[in-house]
Every structure is written in C-alpha cells, then in structure tokens.
A and B are shown apart, each in its own frame.
Chain A
Amino acid sequence: MNYRIRHTTRYQYPDVVSHCFNEARMSPLTAHGQQCVRSRFVIHPTPDYTSQREDYFGNQVTSFHILQPHRELTVTVYSDVHVDDLSQPLLFMKDTPWEAVRDQLAASLDSALLSVREFVLPSELAPLLEDVRAYALLSFLPGRPLLEAVKDLNKRIFTDFKYDPASTTISTPLADVLAQRAGVCQDFAHLAIACVRSVGLPARYVSGYLETLPPPGEEKMVGADASHAWFAVHNLDDGWVAFDPTNNVQPGVQHIMLAAGRDFADVTPLKGVIFGGAQHQLSVSVDVARHSG
C-alpha cells in the first residue's frame, strides 16, 4: 500500500519567542516491511540551522534551530511511504512458550540478541510495578506460546480499558492508568510494554499513523487522521512483532511507523526549548491518503 502523509504541527504563542531549538522524529522509518520513499520538512519561520541524523534506535531525527523572533511555529512534514502487506507471514509464525523465549534470550551470546536485552529493562514511562506484573500474569500463563500470550494481553487491554482522552494527560503515570482503567493509545502501549517486560521479555514502543476510513458513502475529512502509538515484542525468531491494543489488532497495511524506542520519551515526534513564550496553543492535523504508486 502507498500513502502520502501530511502532518502539521502548529504552536502559537501570545508572547514573542526570541529563539528556539527543536528536534523532530517525524520521518517514517524504513524497516520491517515499510519504505519511506520521501520525507520533506516545511518549517515556518525558516530555520537558521537544520541537520539530519539517525538516532541510537535507528530513527530519523531532524534538528532545527530558529533564531529570529516569532509568534508562531509551523512544522509540516510530507511523506510518501510504501507499506508491505505482511498479513500472510504473520499467520505462519512459529510460536514457542514464553518462558523458553525468556530463558533463551537471557542465555544467548548472539550479538544481535544481546542488544535486544535492552528492551527487557524497565524505562521511565514503562516502569516496573507489582500491579502491572499481576495484570500481565493473567495472560502469561505457564507454558503458553509467546505470541498467543501477547495477543491475549492485547485483547484484554482493549476490553478492560476505556479509550478516553479526558482521563489522562501526557504526564499521567502508568500506575494511575492501570488503576482507572482508562487512557489513550500511548497509555495502552506503555501498559502493554510494562506487562511484557515484567515477565522478562523484550518490548518496544512504536509511534506512527493509522489510516482511518470514512463511514461507507461519506467523504473523508481533511486532517481527520491522527498520530498513533502501539507496541512490539521480540520473539527471537522473527524479530519485532507488532500489536495495537487500542484497536485489538496486529498492525497491517494501515499502520505506518514513524519511530521506535523504549517508550514515548525516546520517540517524541517534536520537542524543543523555546526562549520566551511560557504559554502556547498547539494544534495538530494529520492526513493519511492512499495513492497509487
């Protein structure tokens, strides 16, 4: 499937911002059955400095500095992405008991697997909590194959938790999300990751987009798509296998990956330090459109 994506982020400040320093992780990944054909940034005001690099986790980072006074910052990224249909191989994946995967990973001296062990460790937004482990163990039953257990966990989060943007903010701790059984995709992804790690298995956070389709017969609204987040587990044989607990699915051609890391903090789409302008208004719009070729 081919997509053309337009992602606009606009900050408006009541006071003048004298200068700002920013980092964006908004260029889609080329990996795991996805190719980013092209990705172009349009930034207003025009930055005085920009540079591109690949970060520790293999994500594309664009740094830009703006040194002129401004009251509005707009970052628009146009990307063309091709997503392979991997639904067939997904059906035929080998699935081994999760304890075996855990032990094999801990004992392996394979250099690629040694670096996967980083994703077993707790991270700031997906910490080690007793309650999380208890919740996880209901899916990680003894002897159960890994992917089957994760699929079950994915489904339980979908069923047990209410999707409610009003219930959490960007800084709501995981323990609260778990207690109130509500949150947004980011919270669900963190919860799932913490669960998987709590039993000694590697999990990572994926940020990206989800193509939404209008109800039959209606026109698709401009800007109606949104950025999205899900997670992936590593099963040693096939690498990272993705799950989307917000929609209870395994991501297919409608999920487009931007970046992956230990948790949201590693893949924040746009962050920055601004001088002046304590207050700001933020608006985001995303369009994911199919196109042929």
Chain B
Amino acid sequence: MTAEARQSAALLDLGASYGEAASGYDEMWVPLEKAPHAHWQILMQDLSRLRGGELERRRLESSRLLRENGVTYNVYNDPRGQQRTWQLDPIPLMISSADWAVISAGLKQRARLLDYILRDLYGPRHLIRDGLLPPELVFSHQGFLRPCDQTLDSEQQQLLLYAADLARGPDGRMWVIGDRTQAPSGAGYALETRSAMTRVMAAEFRHNQVHRLSLFFRNLRAMLSGLMADKKDDPHVVLLTPGPRNETYFEHAYLASYLGYTLVQGDDLSVRDGKVWMKSIDGLKQVDIIVRRVDDTFCDPLELREDSLLGVPGLLEAARQGNVVIANPLGSSLLESPALNPFLPNIAQKILGEEILLPSAATWWCGDKTARDHVLKNLADLVIKPIDRRLPSIFASSLDKAGLETLKTQILSAPYLYVGQQVLSCSTAPSLRDEKIVPRRALLRTFLTAHQGDYDVMPGGLTRTAPDEHSVFITNQTGGLSKDTWVLADKPDDQTSLWPSPQARVGAAVHEVALTSRSGENLYWVGRYAARAEAILRVLRSVIYKLSDYDDYRDDSDLQVLERLLVALTFQTGMFPGFVGDEAKEKMRNPRAEIMRMATDPNHPGSLIGTLNLLMQSAFNVRDIWSVDTWRVIDDIDEILQSIADGEPSFVTLQNNLDSLLGCLMAFFGQTQESMPHESGWYLFNIGRRMERALQLSGLVRHTVLFRSSEVVEHLILEALLVNQESLSSHRRRYRAAQSPSTVFDLMLLDVRHPRSLAYQVRKISELVERLPQSQPVERSHSLNDEQRIILKLYTEFQLADLNRLVKVNDESGVRTVLDGLLTNVEKRVRKASEFLTQRYFSHTSDAYQLAPTRTELL
C-alpha cells in the first residue's frame, strides 16, 4: 500500500465507526458519500494520521495551558475554590467559507434588526403603535425598564455588542436559538481557546486557512473609542465587572487586560455632577465609556433594582445626560426575549425591506390566541420558555400528565409571559471523548460588534458540545466542553495585531492605565500576605531543622532555641495559646501536631495555609494586573495548596512543600520586579511587602534575642536567625569567624545595604512612599505628608542607633531595653504609616442604604 492509500484507509476506518454513531445531520461526515465534507478533509486526514493517544495528550496539554493561564469558569458563587478550568476539546468545529458568508450576513441582519427594535422600544414605540409588536409582549417583560425610556439616541446604533447562539438544524441550515444582548460573554474565552489551540494543534491550524480573530477585537476597540467622537478623541474606557464571585470573572479580567481597559467594580465608580468618575490612586478620573458585564437591573440602585450592591447610583442619570456611554445601553436585555422570534420576519420586511436571512427556532408567543392554542395542543413536543429570566425553561416532554396540566394552568394564568419553542435536534460534530472521536451535539456562540454603521462578525466563535450522546442541553455549568471554531478563509488573512500601526500612534498620548483604589489596596495586601507567608515559611523551616537537631542530639541548648522559635511562630500566626502560656511546656514535649496545625490549618487565617489563601484571594481580585508568567507562578502556589489540602498531613511532605512554596514565592517576587511596570501599583505592592517584612523581622528578633540567654544558647539563636534570614554567608564574609550579638545586630538591624536588614526595609518604604502620587489633598511641595514624616522619623532612629547600647542587656530585667525600644518603634510607626496610606489611597466607601420611602397615609 502507498502512504497515501494507507492514510485514506485510516480515514475510512475513523469515518466508519464515527458514521455509525452519528444520527441526524453531522457537521463532518456525509453518510451517503462515506466521506467527510470537503472543508473537513484536511483536518480529518491530519487527525487520522496521529498515533493513538496523541489527541488525548494534546487535550491534556491544552487543559494545562488553560489552567496555567487561569482560564476558569466559576461554577458556584465562590471565588476560587469552586472554579472549574475551562475544558477544551482539541477538535475544532470547521465552517466553510461559503457557509460562513451566509451565516455572517444573516447575523449582521439580525443585529441591525434588534438594534432597530431597541431604539424604537425605548423611543417612539412605532412598532407597538403600528401593530408590529403586541403591547403585552413588551410591557410584561421584566427587561423593559421604564426608567430607561427615551435615554437612547434613536439616530445612533445602540446595540453595540451582540452574541447569538446558533445550532444547525436537520435541514443543514443554521438557526438562531438564543440572543445575548445586554452583556454578552464568551468572546474572551474564544480568544483564549484559540491561543491554546494554535499551540496544541499548530500543524493542523497551519494546514487549513483559518480566519484570525484579532481583527474583530481591533474593530471592537475602535468602535468603543469612537463612541464619544464628538466630545473626546481618547475616551477613558472601563470594563465594569460584578467582581471575582461572578462565574465569568476570568473573562472580564482577561478582556480588560487584552484591550487595555481598567477593570472596575461598582463601588470603584461614583457619579458627581452627572458624570461618572473612577476612584483611582491618583484621585478621581472621569470615565467616558463603560463596557459592562453587570446585568441591566443591577447597574443603578437608585433607578433600577434597589437591592443591587453591584451598581453605581446615578449611573442612568449620567447616561441620560450623555455624559457616559454604556455598552450595551441599560435596558437592552429586553431583546433577549424569545417572544420576539415570531415577529422578526415581518419587522424585517416592513422596516428593513428585507427577507429574514437566518431563521430563529420556531416559536409561538402565548399572548397571541392562535399561537397559544397551538402551544397548548402540542405541549408535549415543545419547550416552554418564560419571556424573561423569571423562571426556568420547561421541557414539556419530561412532564407527566399532572405536570402538563399544571403547566397549562400556569400558562393560561398569564399567557403573555410564555413562549412554546420547537426543540431543535441540532447537528453533531466530532468530539474527543475517552480518547475516541465521536459525534456530539454542538452549539455555536457567535459575536458581533457595531462597526462603521453596520456590524462586524468575529470569524469564529465558541462552540460548546454536549457532555454525552443523549444530552440536548448544553451549558458550562453542567460540564459541557468547549471547542474552537475554525472558519476557513478563501485567502490568507493579513496578520493583524490588536494595536494600530506605530505611525498612527505617534503623537497619541501615552498614559498609564489608571489604577483603581480597590486594585491598589489589593496589590498592597498581596505584598503584605506574600511577605507574611514567606516569614512564616522561613520560621517553620527553622523550627523543623532545630527539631531534627534536637531529636538527634537531645541537647538542652537546642531545646531552648526551639522554644524561642516556637514562641515566635505562635506570635507570627496568631494561633494562641500555641506555644505560649501555661500549657506551652507540655506542648513542647511533643510539638509536631501543633506545628502541623500552624502550617496547614485551612480554617485559621493566620496559619501558613490561611495566609496563602488570603494571598491567593487578593491576587485573584486583581487578576487583570498580572502578566501570564506571573499568573503561572501564582497558579503553582495554588496547585501546591491544593495538594496539601488533599494529601495526608505528614512532616516529610510538609518539608518538601515548604521548599517548593518558598521557591514559588521567591519566583513571584522576582516576576513582579521584572515584569510589572514601576508605577503606583508596583509601589504599593512593594510598600506592603517591605512593611510586612519589617514587622515580621522585628517580631522574630523580639522573640528570639531580646532576652538574656546563656552564651551557647545565644550563639545558636543568632546562628538560627542568620540562617533563617538567608544571611549566614554574608555574615561570615563580613565578620569571618566572629559571631556576636553586635555583629549580627549590625548586619540584620542597622545595615542599610543588606536587603534582609530592618534598616533596609525602612529605607525602602521611605523611598517608595515618596513616589506615590501626592495630588490629594494639595500639599505644599516642601512639606511631607503623614506617612512620609513617620517613616522618616523611624529611619532617623535607625541612623542614630548605637550598636553598643542595642546589645546591652539590662542586669535587672534581663532584657535588651534599647533594642526593645527600637523594635517597639518599628512596630508602632510602620502600623501607623499603614493606616495613613489606607486612609489616603484606599478610599473606603461607607455602605449604601435605601432611603425608606415615605408611606402614604391619610390622617
């Protein structure tokens, strides 16, 4: 057999078993010809050539890539913890160039149509007056927001972003089965999916001429920047997210950082003077355009849902005044009503003068008598959907007789709230399941952006497939798989980068993406938690070393050192009584269980794990700030945390994990130094880190060498301190064999050139604090602000410190009193400086309440 013949034999094999499994229309296989559709030929040839297990290996590889990039989907409303990595099926859905031409023309038309409906229903409402839409269809929909009436410019495109869910029917045509019009999600996942696919399926991607996605995002950016064309050339765009608890938070962060917009939550914004402002580290910055991922009704607790904590009071008023543009405008969820479907062809004809190009799933609106009769007669064959999101859809085929009757009564009590929809038996596409290529039902989400008066369609999209062969319904909440969509091009695309050409940017102002106060605060805490975790890790390591020394030699001096380290650890973690107090002696006898608890108790915020969890949480809250490689390191920490949580606690594995965690933390600090621009966020992160390190080192010194001890013990403690702080070799280089309290104090407390010393931390804090923006309130150029002043005071105390007095032990109390004074000042002043910073930069909004409305009473 020739190589070619062998290959087509392999393809035939693949096809035969696949073809048998397929029923109904299949995207790839043509049963009559016993061959793939032409546009699948190249891909299927390639796939049939792969060795067994290779596809599965690539699936795992893509999962790893997505996980490392933090592509997650929160399954429940729990940040982290319940995240699910986006699961990718490495076999893309192929769409031919001819087919796509039809689909995209149809999508554009539908977007134009929905845009018209949006402008009309919040404007003149001709559609109702002229009888093209029944009033109840609009007036009973929860998404018809009366406060938004007359807030849209009826002369301008208003539907700016649009996503449609498509499925191919048995007739081979694409049908629209759902519209996403208020805050469509998924485009970011499509992009991330594509970037993973071009790595794991690089050759296959090259062999096919696949449309690139970047032009779409460039058009999206251009569209947004142009929204204020009459007022501003370079508008300030932000992406409004409900926050890290939202199921698609990853995507919000990803898109914000891909597009270069600030990611904000509701209380980062406030309305003043009828304009929207963002609270940033350098004061209020006006916001011109809001890309929102918050649902309509949650956006403004004054005029819309009063119980919303996610919105901005006064936002709708700002939009009404034309001072901010919201994409999509508030009120646009009305267009998601499936009840519009049966009316679209007529509206298309009357308004656009066109036949509708893409059919919608056959839908009957029960507000209409004839349609209602049809629905009630054919109930069992239909899915009953509410017109808005008040209630879930009901697949009537799954109901028994009594259930059907209840449903009938329910429909009849308010028929205008329901539609009946034909259950579309959608096409299947090749999917990888248990290392086999099998047919699975597939849905395609497509994305559009307003573009120069019309629409631009992303040439691709997000395909989701059913988890098993019987499933008809596909959501990511129940574990569907997603796959890339390869739209084939007639000719190769130009490489388009997201950014305009360099020439076009000359002259454009280069400015930092403003940092919100919230992000600033999170970064500061990332710095603090990371340094705290590092300090706890180091003491845990010292404890474990000492413990094994003691186990080996049973030397009483080792025990005394161990005791002091354990006291230090107790104070560090705040897990009292721990090794402090009456039962301490008893616990010291067999300290392993307590040490283990201080390391791994997930329920105590002070334990190592607890601290790392806080670190992860803060890092996740500013997901958009980290570079891909930095996030990879954060993800490594997460993975170790997971393995500690899952594994049996043991001292040996703990020791290994401590080493790996310390490595990750060091890599994290390194990454932030190398890849974060040295701007406000970086300053705050480092201030947090330096402040925490100062506090931790001060505490460690206090609990180990503040008190008098025998010469042997003191020697051992000082050595442990140097080892703990990675400073033993520096010390040896400088002082040779000599080691005394004064040499160690000189290096660890007073040396401003040694990055582990206390004085060094204080000097760094003072330098960093000076670089923070000083705009608010206006201060005289020569005077220092509160935190600068207090840190300067502290730094001066270090400069004036007298080494001889620091080491001196008070005969009566047995305490180094001067050292005590210095350490107390470190703790007091650093804490105070932290308070000043918090007040100045992290604006804390007080909680919002509804004013109790006045009740009407007749006396």
Residues of chain A touching chain B, judged by Cβ–Cβ distance below 8 Å, are: 9, 11, 18, 20-23, 48-49, 51, 53, 55-57, 63, 65, 67, 109, 111, 114-115, 117-118, 121-122, 128, 163, 165, 169-170, 184-186, 207, 210, 212, 224-229, 246, 264, 266, 268-278, 280, 282, 284
A196 to chain B, nearest CB (A): 16
- Given known A-B contacts A48-B272, A128-B414, A266 and B146 have beta carbons under 8 A apart: yes
Q: Give the distance to chain A from B545, nearest Cβ to Cβ, in Å.
A: 52
Cβ 8 A contact of B135, one of A55, A56, A63, A118: A118
Residues of B within 8 A of A (CB): 125, 128-131, 135-136, 139-140, 146-147, 149-150, 271-274, 301-303, 306, 313-314, 317, 320-321, 413-414, 416, 845-859
Q: How far is the CA of A14 from the CA of B136 in the complex (A)?
A: 46
* Cross-interface CB contact of A228 among B139, B149, B849, B858, cutoff 8 Å: B858
Contact B414 A122 (CB under 8 A): yes
> In the bound complex, what is the Cα–Cα distance between A22 and B858 (angstroms)?
24
Cβ–Cβ < 8 Å partners of A185 in chain B: 856-858
Which 3 A-B pairs rank lowest in CB-CB distance, beginning with the nearest?
Answer: A272-B851, A276-B846, A111-B129
Point out which of B135, B139, B416, B855 has the most chain A C-beta atoms below 10 A from its C-beta: B855
For B855, the closest partner residue in chain A by CB is: A170
Please determine whether A51 and B302 come into contact, CB atoms closer than 8 angstroms: no
Which of B135, B149, B321 is close to A114, meaning CB atoms less than 8 Å apart?
Answer: B135
Q: Are A282 and B854 in contact (CB under 8 A)?
A: yes
Question: 13 additional contacts, CB 8 Å, given A121-B416, A184-B856, A185-B857?
Answer: A9-B854, A23-B302, A55-B149, A56-B147, A115-B125, A117-B135, A165-B857, A170-B855, A184-B858, A210-B858, A246-B858, A273-B302, A280-B851
Pair A274/B854 contact, Cβ less than 8 Å: no
Determine if B147 and A170 form an interchain contact, defined as CB atoms under 8 angstroms apart. no
The reply to whether B129 and A271 form a contact with Cβ atoms under 8 Å apart is: no
Instruction: Provide the residues of chain A in CB contact with B317, threshold 8 Å.
Output: 51, 63
Q: Are B848 and A274 in contact (CB under 8 A)?
A: yes
| Inter-subunit contact B858/A224 (CB<8 Å) | no
A45 to chain B, nearest CB (A): 15
**Residue from B125, B136, B271, B302 in contact with A271 in the complex, judged by beta carbons closer than 8 Å:** B302
The DSSP consensus for interface residues of chain B is loop
Beta-carbon nearest neighbor of A224 in chain B: B859
Residue of A nearest to B853 (CB): A268
B302–A109 contact, CB under 8 A? no
**CB pair B859 A212 closer than 8 Å:** yes
CB-based contact A270/B854 at 8 Å: yes
Given contacts A65-B271, A65-B314, whether A121 and B136 have CB atoms under 8 Å apart is yes
Rounded to whole Å, the gap between the CB of A61 and the closest CB of chain B is 9
Residues of chain B contacted by A169 (CB below 8 angstroms): 855
Q: Which residue of B lies closest to A269 (CB)?
A: B854
Give Cα distance in the complex from A278 to B846, angstroms. Answer: 10
Sampled A-B contacts (27; CB under 8 Å): A9-B854, A21-B302, A21-B314, A22-B851, A48-B272, A51-B274, A56-B150, A67-B272, A111-B129, A114-B129, A121-B140, A169-B855, A170-B853, A185-B857, A185-B858, A207-B856, A212-B859, A246-B858, A266-B146, A268-B853, A268-B854, A272-B851, A273-B849, A274-B850, A275-B845, A275-B848, A278-B847
CB pair B851–A273 under 8 Å, yes or no, is: yes
Asked if A184 and B414 make an inter-chain contact with CB atoms under 8 angstroms apart, the answer reads: no
CA distance A142 to B272 in the complex (A): 57
B856 & A117 in contact (Cβ 8 Å cutoff): no
Taking the closest CB of chain B, its distance from the CB of A102, in whole angstroms, is 14
Answer whether A229 and B136 are a contact pair too, CB < 8 Å, given A272-B850, A280-B851: no
Closest Cβ–Cβ distance, residue A93 to chain B (whole Å): 25
User: By the criterion CB–CB under 8 Å, are B146 and A184 in contact?
Assistant: no
B856 engages A229 (CB within 8 Å) = yes
When chains A and B are docked, how far (Å) is the Cα of A9 from the Cα of B856? 12
> Are A227 and B850 in contact, with the CB atoms below 8 A?
no
Task: Tell me which residues across on chain A come within 8 A of B854, comparing CB atoms.
Answer: 9, 227, 268-270, 282, 284
- Which residue of the partner chain A has the closest CB to B275? A49
CA distance in complex: A226, B856 (Å): 8
Between A53, A118, A186, A269, the greatest number of chain B beta carbons within 10 A of the residue's beta carbon is seen for: A118
Determine the chain A residues whose CB is within 8 A of the CB of B321 once the complex forms.
51
Whether A11 and B856, one on each chain, are in contact in the complex, defined by CB atoms closer than 8 angstroms, is: no
- Residue contact B848 to A271, C-beta cutoff 8 Å: no
Distance of A203 Cα from B223 Cα, bound (Å): 44
- Residues in chain B near residue A48, CB distance under 8 A: 272-273
- Contact check, B135 vs A271: say whether CB atoms are below 8 A apart: no
> What A residues does B856 contact at CB under 8 A?
184-186, 207, 226-229, 264, 269
Chain B residue at minimal CB-CB distance from A11: B851
**Chain B residue with Cβ nearest A20:** B851
Give B456 Cβ to nearest chain A Cβ, in Å: 33
> Are B852 and A273 in contact, with the CB atoms below 8 A?
no
Bound Cα distance A165, B848 (Å): 29
Contact between B848 and A55 (Cβ–Cβ < 8 Å)? no
Supposing A210-B858, A271-B302 touch, asked if A21 and B414 sit within 8 A by C-beta, the answer is: no
Rounded to whole angstroms, the CA-CA distance of A109 and B130 in the bound complex is: 8
Contacts of B135 in A (CB 8 A): 114-115, 117-118
**A49 B851 Cβ-Cβ under 8 A:** no
On whether the beta carbons of A128 and B413 are closer than 8 Å, the reply is yes
* Beta-carbon nearest neighbor of B320 in chain A: A53
Query: How many angstroms between the C-alpha atoms of A88 and B150 in the bound complex?
Result: 38
Of B313, B320, B321, B847, the most chain A CB neighbours within 10 A belong to B313
Complex: A55 Cα to B317 Cα, angstroms: 12
Nearest opposing residue in chain B for A271, CB measure? B853
CB-defined contacts of B301 to chain A, threshold 8 Å: 273
B272 near A276 (CB under 8 angstroms)? no
- Residues on B with beta carbons closer than 8 Å to the beta carbon of A121: 136, 139-140, 416
Point out the residues of chain B lying under 8 angstroms from A246, CB to CB: 858
Residues of A with C-beta under 8 A to B857? 165, 184-186, 226-227
A289 to chain B, nearest CB (A): 16
- Give the complex CA separation of A210 and B858 in angstroms: 8
On whether the beta carbons of A280 and B139 are closer than 8 Å, the reply is: no
Q: Are B849 and A277 in contact (CB under 8 A)?
A: yes
Contact assessment for B274 and A184 in the assembled complex, using a CB-CB cutoff below 8 Å:
no
Residues of A within 8 A of B149 (CB): 55-56
Determine if A269 and B849 form an interchain contact, defined as CB atoms under 8 angstroms apart: no
CB distance from B489 to the nearest CB of A (A): 48
* Docked CA distance A19–B97 (Å): 57
Q: Are B146 and A55 in contact (CB under 8 A)?
A: yes
Q: Do A269 and B850 touch across chains, with their CB atoms under 8 A apart?
A: no
Query: For A22, what are the chain B residues with a Cβ–Cβ distance below 8 Å?
Result: 302, 851
How far apart are the CA atoms of A20 and B850 in the complex, in Å?
10
In the complex, which residue of chain B has the Cβ closest to the Cβ of A286?
B859
Closest to A169 in B: B855
Please, which residues of chain B bring their CB within 8 A of the CB of A18? 845-846
Cα A106 to Cα B320 with chains together (Å): 34
CB distance from A266 to the nearest CB of B (A): 7
Q: Are B855 and A184 in contact (CB under 8 A)?
A: yes
Q: With A274-B849, A280-B851 known to touch, is A114 a contact of B128 (CB < 8 Å)?
A: yes
Closest residue on chain A to residue B138 by CB atoms: A118
- Residues of B within 8 Å of A273, CB to CB, are 301-302, 306, 313, 848-851
Q: How far is the CB of B147 from chain A (nearest CB, A)?
A: 7
User: Closest approach, in angstroms, between the C-beta of A261 and any C-beta of chain B?
Assistant: 9
* A51, A163, A270, A275: most-surrounded residue (chain B CB, <10 A): A275
Known interface pairs A55-B147, A270-B854, A284-B854; A275-B272 also in contact (CB < 8 Å):
no
